[in-house]
Chains A and B, each alone.
Chain A
Amino acid sequence: MLILKRMFPVIALVVPLIIVVFVIDQFGTGNMQRVSTEALVRLVFAVGLYMFVGNSGILSFGHMTFCAVAAYASAWQTCCSMMKPTIMSGLPAFVRDNTFPLIPSALTSVGLAGAVALVSGLVLMRLSFFSASISTLALLVIMNVVFANWTTVTMGNSTIVGLPVYVTIWGALAATVVVIVLAYLFQNSRWGLMLRATREEEVAAQASGVSLYWSRFIAFTLSGFVAGLAGVLFAHFMGTVSLSNFFLNHTFIIVAMLVIGGMHSLAGVVVGVALISAVTEVLRQAEAGYSIGGLSFAVPPGTQELVLAVTMLLILIFRKDGIMGGKEFRWPWPARSDRLAIEERKVASVQRSS
């Protein structure tokens, strides 16, 4: 019972996801399954990003870097054994001339992404709050420029095709659940607590013995690993790797999802990603055009982005902590003492407002 209570915020997120996936798997169209799988992969990335952004309060625009590194690393190891020596001639010989099994290459790719996060974190996390945030954008730009021009290894702006496609909707769900549990355990761990303290009050946290640098660095590295996992999943869901998928566009969509759901709680991230993915998909189909009774109509192209932007603005104006307001789903039957406190609060707020 106690463990059920303690893990309730996670259960409240995971169970509905499982139900939705089950329903879609049984009754959904092929397109619905594809869209849901992609949304789950995006959720893995968003939760990874949240582990750093949500707990530290520092917005990162750079996590796509780790996603890209892992996706490319997995492509280098698993894709197109026939073509590899010609199209990616710059690869080290043992990678170029061999194809590696899927699981080990997924693990090494995630590891490589984590290593990149670790090294960049060593430098970036020394910076103060806002500088750290902007510096992550620089990281993204550096990755993009390097990958775009390192054509013998990355094929530049061309798309690498022919990766084995092994990510199913259930596989993506499994990864999502693992990552959500991991994020929840992290935020309630010693290091997560310290990091959240620095988010609220840097000075007081330092005065309590918390090192800004180390607490941020650990979260940054950890979230780099998770972003890497999302990269691998994405590559083997699409079967292709293209640099344009790892740049500002996708970064901003994920950031918008975090803002709309509420980036200071795990529930906010899940709600944000689920909601926006669903809405975007409906709008995408509307842009493509519906036909009802012989009449077909379509909304103008660009509606997706517009709706996303307007939603974000409305949220920022009217509910700046996002839909979930930085809260997790709570155990719905609080203990007696807590219930009294809640009642008291209500009375007090009524008195204040009258």
Chain B
Amino acid sequence: MLKIEQVVAGYGRLTALKNIDLRVDKGEVVFVVGPNGAGKSTLLKTISGLMAPTSGRISFQGERVDGKAPEQVCRKGLALIPEGRHIFKTLTVQENLLVGAMIRKNAMEVRADMEMVLETFPILRERYNGVAGHLSGGEQQQLAIARSILQRPTLLMIDEPSLGLAPLMIDQVYSSLRQLNQTGLTLLIVEQSTGRIMDLASRIYVLRNGNVVLEDAPGNLANGNALDAAYFGFSDNAA
């Protein structure tokens, strides 16, 4: 569904992604993990068009999307929730959700989806006319997810959904992500910690210093040694 081939990207003279190959198939939950500065966020930004890759190709459902503007990319069904719960703080919850549905034409469908989203995240119905900035961290993350679902994406990318959340909240966010995946949504999730991802992941990529150092299914990584080794750069995985 999403195919990334030999992508190089960076900021000025700094190369953040050095030759990345990665794919996401339909219905999968793919995790990209790695330490700080590994290039995880850069990867999502590049896929969503917020950054243009220096070279390489990115194709989504058989169509090239690299070098396209972010608003064009998201119209193809690739949604991104940026790092740090970027919600529109002074807008109401309702307005936040409406921005998510902005690219869609069919008002009837949007209304039905809005209802569905409010079912999934009841807290948003309670706070519907309230200012989004007053929500707690976990509620804001739910709002960000809800907003991007209203885009009706076929692939949803999330940058560190657990960042800065209490453990209980992380569980909540993850269980809603699992629900979404069960309804057929493909997920590409970036996380820094590997702790919670095993039972949700279809496949895991480990990114370090702008390189993919490991790609495997969680079943094969069950004892954790290989994953740790790749993550921390022990032995032959050193990048």
Contacts and interface: CB of A to CB of B under 8 A. Distances in A.
Interface of A: prevailing SS: helix
A155 B91 CA distance: 47
A341 B82 contact: no
Contacts of A168: none
Most buried by A among B89, B91, B99: B99
A198 to B, nearest CB: 9
A254 B86 CA distance: 32
A72 to B, nearest CB: 38
Contacts, number: 84
Contacts of B130: 338, 341, 345
A209 B75 contact: yes
Contact of B71 (A210, A326, A337): A210
Given A208-B99, A208-B148, A338-B129, A264 B69 contact: no
A207 B79 contact: yes
A207 B81 contact: yes
Contact of B100 (A200, A206, A208, A338): A208
B71 A206 contact: yes
Interface in A229-244: none
Q: How large is the interface on B (under 10, 10 to 19, 20 to 34, 35 or more residues)?
A: 20 to 34
B90 A204 contact: no
Q: How large is the interface on A (under 10, 10 to 19, 20 to 34, 35 or more residues)?
A: 20 to 34
Given A208-B151, A211-B71, A341 B90 contact: no
Most buried by B among A196, A204, A208, A337: A208
Interface in B25-75: 48, 50, 69-71, 74-75
Contact of B82 (A190, A207, A209, A345): A207
Contacts of B81: 204, 207
B128 to A, nearest CB: 8
A209 B71 contact: yes
A264 B90 contact: yes
Interface in A193-215: 193-194, 196-197, 200-201, 203-211
B165 to A, nearest CB: 18
Interface string B73-100: 0110001111000111111000100111
Nearest to A341: B130
B79 A204 contact: no
A203 B70 CA distance: 9
A214 B2 CA distance: 28
B90 A326 contact: yes
A208 B87 contact: no
Given A203-B82, A338-B129, A209 B88 contact: no
A316 to B, nearest CB: 18
B102 A194 contact: yes
A194 B70 contact: no
Most buried by A among B71, B82, B103, B129: B71
Contacts of A193: 91, 95, 98-99, 102
Interface string A86-116: 0000000000000000000000000000000
Nearest to B79: A207
Contacts of B98: 193
Contacts of A264: 90
Contacts of A337: 126, 128
Contacts of A341: 126-127, 129-130
Nearest to A330: B129
B102 A210 contact: yes
B141 to A, nearest CB: 12
B71 A203 contact: no
B155 to A, nearest CB: 13
A32 to B, nearest CB: 37
A1 B12 CA distance: 57
A204 B102 CA distance: 13
Given A204-B82, A204-B88, A341-B126, A209 B102 contact: yes
B99 A197 contact: yes
Contacts of A208: 74, 79, 99-100, 102-103, 147-148, 151
Contact of B50 (A190, A196, A207, A209): A207
Contacts of A326: 90
Contacts of B103: 208-209
Nearest to B131: A327
Contacts of A210: 71, 99, 102
Most buried by B among A190, A193, A204, A205: A204
Q: Which 9 A-B pairs have the closest CB atoms?
A: A204-B86, A209-B103, A200-B88, A206-B70, A207-B80, A201-B86, A209-B74, A197-B99, A211-B71
Given A197-B99, A200-B91, A345-B134, 14 more contacts: A193-B95, A193-B99, A194-B99, A196-B90, A197-B88, A200-B89, A207-B82, A208-B79, A208-B99, A209-B103, A210-B102, A326-B90, A338-B129, A341-B127
8 contacts: A193-B98, A193-B99, A196-B88, A200-B90, A204-B86, A206-B71, A207-B79, A264-B90
Interface of A: 190, 193-194, 196-197, 200-201, 203-211, 264, 326, 337-338, 341, 345
